[in-house]
Amino acid sequence: MVEDAINAYKKTLEIEPSFVKAYNNLGVIYYEAGRLDEAIESLKKAIASSTQYTEAFYNLGIVYHGKKQYSDALAAFKKAVELNPKFEKGYYNLGVTYSSMDAIEESLAAFKKTVEINPQYSDAYYNMGVAYAKKDQLDEAIKSLQKALELNPNDDKSHFALGVIYQAKRKAKVSSGKLEKP
């Protein structure tokens, strides 16, 4: 099926070489098949055909992130949100990429922008919680994770992260002598 899709998109591009969506979709299929270099090549062709196609920049960022080429991923995601300032997935993936680079302040700013655009984006709240925890701002981390769980009560990652944070807070109390016996 993957090869059939690839061949169909290639045929489309033989007929219409500037079909931006075909390049974009071909890039996505290559990415899903683990053919990352071909995905990048196809997505760059989409961008060359239309420098205003937000999805192509976004997808290019996803592929670069998958290759751990974080600087390239950041550039692609930044261009996507520049083209569409309300593009929540672009801001979210900026945050994920910044987190991968341990740029916590920048990741927090991107996740905050994500939930400003879409207050229902539970994964952004989860990632904000993780970022706050990395900064040792445990109360803020708890608030973000609780919001993630309010939106998605079955999110195992958020439940687990809350458990880790509560345990860390307990250990901090024990080491400071503030924990009372039950």
- State in Å, rounded, how far the first CA of the chain is from the last one: 61
Domain ranges of the chain: 1-85, 111-175
Q: If you average pLDDT over every residue of the chain, what do you get?
A: 94
Question: What local confidence, expressed as pLDDT, does residue 182 receive?
Answer: 45
On the question of a common fold for 1-85 and 111-175, the answer reads yes
Residue 13 CA to residue 20 CA, distance in Å, equals: 9
The upper half-sphere exposure of residue 101, i.e. CA atoms within 13 Å in the direction of its Cβ, equals 19
Per the listing, tokens 């899903």 go with 32
| CB neighbour list of residue 154: distance below 8 Å, 6 or more residues apart | none
User: What is the number of other CB atoms lying within 10 angstroms of the CB of residue 28?
Assistant: 20
pTM (two decimals):
0.89
Q: How confident is the model at residue 179 (pLDDT cuts 50, 70, 90)?
A: very low
Q: Is the pLDDT of residue 26 over 50?
A: yes
Superfamily, domain 1-85: Tetratricopeptide repeat domain (1.25.40.10)
- The pair of three-digit structure tokens given for residue 170, joined into one six-digit string: 């307990």
Q: How confident is the model at residue 175 (pLDDT cuts 50, 70, 90)?
A: low
Name the nearest CA neighbour of 77 among 99, 53, 88, 93: 93
Question: What type of residue sits at position 178?
Answer: K
Question: What local confidence, expressed as pLDDT, does residue 171 receive?
Answer: 72
124-170 pLDDT, tens digit per residue, is 999 999 999 999 999 999 999 999 999 999 999 999 999 999 998 88
Residue 172 CA to residue 159 CA, distance in Å, equals: 20
Residue 80 CA to residue 24 CA, distance in Å, equals: 14
| CB 142 within 8 Å of CB 126 | no
Per the listing, tokens 């591009």 go with 13
34-76 pLDDT, tens digit per residue, is 999 999 999 999 999 999 999 999 999 999 999 999 999 999 9
Q: Is the pLDDT of residue 180 over 90?
A: no
Would you identify the CATH topology of the domain 111-175?
1.25.40
Question: What local confidence, expressed as pLDDT, does residue 169 receive?
Answer: 83
